[in-house]
Amino acid sequence: MLARHQDPIVAIATAPGRGAVGIVRVSGKAIAPLVQLLCGKALKPREASYLPFKAADGQAIDQGLALYFPAPHSYTGEDVLELQAHGGPVVLQLLLARCLEAAQTLAANGQTTLPGLRLAEPGEFTERAFLNDKIDLAQAEAIADLIDASTEAAARSASRSLTGAFSQEIHRLRDALIHLRMLVEATLDFPEEEIDFLQKADAYGQLDQLRSTLQGVMQRTRQGALLREGIKVVIAGQPNAGKSSLLNALAGAELAIVTPIAGTTRDKVAQTIQIEGVPLHVIDTAGLRESDDEVERIGIARAWEEIASADAVLFLHDLTRMQEDDYRAADAQIATTLRGQLPSSVPVMQVWNKADAFSATSARQMSAEASKIVAIHAPADTAGDEPLILSAKTGDGLNALRRQLLAMAGWQAAAEGTYIARARHVQALQQVQEHLDSAHEQLHVDSPALDLLAEELRLAQQSLNAITGEFTSDDLLGVIFSSFCIGK
């Protein structure tokens, strides 16, 4: 534990701005003298006391509730004092200053040997809860995810992670892994026993069961990461294909300017939408073409930058121009550039817009007519794909697009047991899978090298431990907790 973790800390624990109630929180070891000085009396543990909060000169700053939680029965595992006052910014700043001043007074009078009270850093209260074994690292991250949740599904999943659902799955995997490691390493330590370890200990069965269980955990973790992170979807295509209209239709609001003039969109327009609780960060970009306009060229360059960093691309085609040779040639050039710039793992969805422009008397006839045009003039690399034909103007086909976006993201209908997860959790589990795959290969050679098998199992356990924090570098902790708000 670093030296700074020994300092008592204080911060305003409620959001900036005015509110009905504001909270100033203090945490540290043996802060009872500070509680006595601030409140004018000793407080009963975990019992709210209504009293005046006084300045050093005895004048009342405010009246409110004071709660004292002696260690270890507190959020941080240390002594915690919470002063609940009226939620005005000036009042809370005065209370904060009074806490710091009172600590200095105690130190000057020699009434405490504690280091000086200081302002808390972002996430430091939760960091102390982790360091004092009140929560593990996955639960600590879930607290921030619950605060930041942008959908109901994400909030519910973060709450499940906070209660330990994700951590319990990781612990079950770790316990099974430790049991297998124990058997392997015992065989290494006592070779003279001539135990036929591979058969009697059912090492094959245990490892296969581990790998099978891991697959289920990885699937749920990917779903949890989708709920938290969402995916970045970029709408690309030639000018006037209807990209801005499609963004507006998906968002249900007039976010982007729509005109018949080519090159109207000069810069990206972004909006986060929700589909079945999954956040999709949709970005409308400038039409892709050659241009002599300096501003438009900058917009097009930015469009390619967004495409390069996308999780998925919607390549939008204009059905009304699909029979024009120049238009098809330009689409083909864009498709070639997309294939060259995007990794093979990034999907490109082909979408044909402006189905409403056809004169068919029924939606079915209109779709059939549009499908014929697609079948004849679609890019070669989409042959055989089910054409996604829609009208951003009328909304026809948008539900099909939403379903395909979810499928493209890898989303499956969320079960009640889904928990929130982060990209680092997915990466750690992928490392576990790699080590277990290597262990499986070692186990299935004619003369298994048990020392190498034991090492792969050890590395797999180390990757699991990084998720819950049993094995975590201080650098990683700094990154994680620095994203928290101050006071949490």
Give the full edge-to-edge strand order of the sheet including 278-284. 269-275, 278-284, 231-237, 312-318, 348-353, 388-389
CA distances 461 to 14, 211, 288, 382, Å, are: 38, 13, 48, 44
* 253 known ligand binder: no
Tokens representing residue 56 in the block: 């050093």
* 312 known ligand binder: no
* 54 known ligand binder: no
CA distances 382 to 125, 288, 304, 350, 407, Å, are: 53, 20, 21, 7, 17
* 240 known ligand binder: yes
* 353 known ligand binder: yes
* 259 known ligand binder: yes
* 244 known ligand binder: yes
* 134 known ligand binder: yes
* 76 known ligand binder: no
* 287 known ligand binder: yes
* 397 known ligand binder: no
* 355 known ligand binder: yes
What gap in Å lies between CA 106 and CA 56, rounded to an integer? 12
Please, where are the H alpha helices in 41-200? 89-108, 124-131, 137-148, 152-162, 165-189, 197-200
What gap in Å lies between CA 455 and CA 461, rounded to an integer? 10
Question: Cα 95–98–101 angle (5° rounding)?
Answer: 155
* 231 known ligand binder: no
Find the helix packing angle between 32-39 and 89-108, rounded to 10°. Answer: 120
* 261 known ligand binder: yes
* 82 known ligand binder: yes
SS3 25: strand
* 400 known ligand binder: no
* 242 known ligand binder: yes
* 382 known ligand binder: no
Question: Nearest Cα to 351, choosing from 394, 384, 391?
Answer: 391
SS3 324: coil
* 44 known ligand binder: no
Kindly state the DSSP code that residue 77 receives in the 8-state scheme.
S
CB of 126 closer than 8 Å to CB of 140: yes
* 241 known ligand binder: yes
* 123 known ligand binder: no
The CA R_g of the chain, rounded to the nearest whole Å, is 30
Q: Which residues are annotated as a binding site for (6S)-5-formyl-5,6,7,8-tetrahydrofolate?
A: 25, 82, 134, 488
Q: Which residues are annotated as a binding site for K(+)?
A: 240, 259, 261, 264
Q: Which residues are annotated as a binding site?
A: 25, 82, 134, 240-245, 259-265, 284-287, 353-356, 488
Q: Which residues are annotated as a binding site for Mg(2+)?
A: 244, 265
Q: Which residues are annotated as a binding site for GTP?
A: 240-245, 259-265, 284-287, 353-356
